[in-house]
Every structure is written in structure tokens, then in C-alpha cells.
Structure 1
Amino acid sequence: MNLNMKLTRAFYISLLSVCGLLLIAQVTDGKYMDGFDESVIAFITGLHSELMTKVMLLFTAIGNGGMVVVVSLVALFLLYKLGTSRMELLLFMAVVISSGLFNYLLKNVFQRMRPDFNPLVHADGFSFPSGHSMSAFALYGVLGFLAWLKVENRKVRTLILTICILMVLSIGTSRIYLGVHYPSDVVGGFLGGASLLALAVWYHQQKRTAA
């Protein structure tokens, strides 16, 4: 019963994440979402400094497509060395690749224009949801999940999970700081990544139970 409840919980988290993403998409032009975006933007832009800009440029570069490929390949190698099964390696690849495809689909469905408040970098394409945020949540989320399963030392596992969380938050924040995404874009990206990650966890646990 307890295991079935956990499996059901992972599935519902995935479903709720998708619902949350769709809800945000429907209210992006409403006064409440505008107020949220403006408040967060005002706070983050208030942190502007030469050093902070360099830090945010670094994190946004780490979240670029090319770096996601590099990090994914390095992670696959390390996971393989840790004895990760073929199914889990394929699961890792599926989550990372599907996040890019899912984001592309959503951007072209909602077609939200990017903010125009003096961006510090150039960005093409539509704004919602943030691709950097979605791919970061998917990549570092599934990496943290698999590392948690394979790394036996509790302190090391906690350190890995903490680093993964910080990477996700830093990459998402960098997109707002640099002026190429609204905060609601970033939240939408996180929810999109969370839906894929939760679905992957549900699938993985089902397979382990059936084995």
C-alpha cells in the first residue's frame, strides 16, 4: 500500500505540474500575474552590479543548449561508472531530450513575446515557458534523482542534491536578471520540467516494482 501511494503521488505531481503550467499560461496577461512579474523583476534588477552580471551570464551560459549536451554526456559517463542500469541511463536521456521537445511545443502554442525592458543579452524565439529553466529542472532533477539512488554516502547524496537545486534556481534567476524572461516564464519552465521528472520517477518506480 505504501509503495502504491508513492507511485500514485509521483503521477499526480506530474499531472498537477502540467495543470499549473497551463494555468499560468492562461493568466500571463492578467493583472495578478503582471503584479507578480513586476514585483520579482523589481527585486532582481535591484541586485544589478558588475559582479552579479558576470555571475548571471555564467549561469545562463551553463543553461545553454550546448552546455546542456556537455553536462549530460559527462553525467551519463559518471552514472555509468556508478553502476547505473541501462534502463536508468535511457530514462536520464529521455527526460533531458523530452524537455527540449516539450518546451519547443509549448513556446509555439502560447507564443508569448519576450520582455522588452532593456535585456542584457539577445534571445530569439518566444518567451513562455523558459527553455533554460525547463531543461535545467529536467537535467539536474533527474541527475539528482539517479545520484540519490546510486550514491551510498548520505552526506555526498545531500551535497549532490543541494548542488542540483542551486543550479536550477540560479539558471532560472539568470534569465530574469538578464531581462530575457518574465518570472512567470521561469515558473512555467520549472513546472514543465517537474512534470517530466515526476513522470520519469513514476515510470522508474513502476518498473522496479514489476521486476
Structure 2
Amino acid sequence: MKLKTYLIIAFSLSVVSIIGFSLISLLISDQKIIHFDRTIIDAVQGMETPFLTSVMKFFTFIGSAPFVIVLSLFLLLFLYAMNAFTVYGIITFLLWRHITSSLGRWALIFVSMVMILAIGISRIYLGVHYPSDIIGGYFASAFWITTAIIFFQYYQVKRYNKRQRREKNIA
């Protein structure tokens, strides 16, 4: 599918969602949805069994605030070995595009690599991460950065080609 098609689908889903939310809000404020709620509640609670109750308690638990907070903190800590690499990698990519000299680009790469390696080594030195955590974070960050750059470049090329076709049609 084309990028334009994806954007149209995403926009359409967001419009449908906001319209649906608005309608539900109006129905709730006018208390015109009580019968609907009662019908659904009766149907769902009518399926009650001990096994289904334990399954539903599990799903309620993984959707609870304490579980979501703990999961979010875990993911934050897990991704924290990747944070510096990703930030400095993206900054390097963005700056690279604006540096025209070869020497300037090599200097940028060198400084970025020193920063990323120094941050990783400092984490090992201070005992807050294992070397394997750092290396794994480097690999995961490299994957994330290259994927982001590939999509960014793909979008830029499509935009450039579209502009070229438009200018060709005008001329």
C-alpha cells in the first residue's frame, strides 16, 4: 500500500473513534444507554463459571494500575541500556545530513562512538549493568536506529520522487 493510503486509513480510524467516543458520551450524559449496559452486563455475567472467573481475574489483574506501572517500569529499565545509544545515534544521523565535509562526518562519528562507548563502560564501572546488558542494548538500539533511518529515508525518497514527477508534469 502507498503511504497516502496508510495515512488515510489512520485518519479515518481516528475520525471514527472520536465520533464513537462523542456519541457514547452524549448517550451517557442523557442516560439513554442504561438499557444497553444492563443487557450486556446480564449476558456476560450469565456465562459465569469458576474457571472463567479465574481467567477474568487474570485479565483484570494484568490491566490493573499496579501491574501496568510495574510493567512500564520494567520496560523503562530494560530499555534504559538502549537509551543513550539511541539518542546519540539519532543525533548523529540528523547532524550527519547537514555536515558536508568528510572530515566533519568522521569527527561526528568518532565523538558519537566515544560518547556511546563511554556511557556503556560507565554503567559497567558503576555496577548498574552487566556487560552483556550493554552489548544487548547496543544491538537492540542499532536495530531500532537502522529501522527508523530506513523508514525515514524511504519516506524522503518517495517525497523526492513525487516532487520530481510534479515538477516534470509542470514543465
Give the TM-score of the pair, scaled to structure 2.
Answer: 0.47
Larger relative contact order, structure 1 or 2 (CA cutoff 8 Å, min sep 6): 1
Highest CA radius of gyration, 1 or 2?
Answer: 2
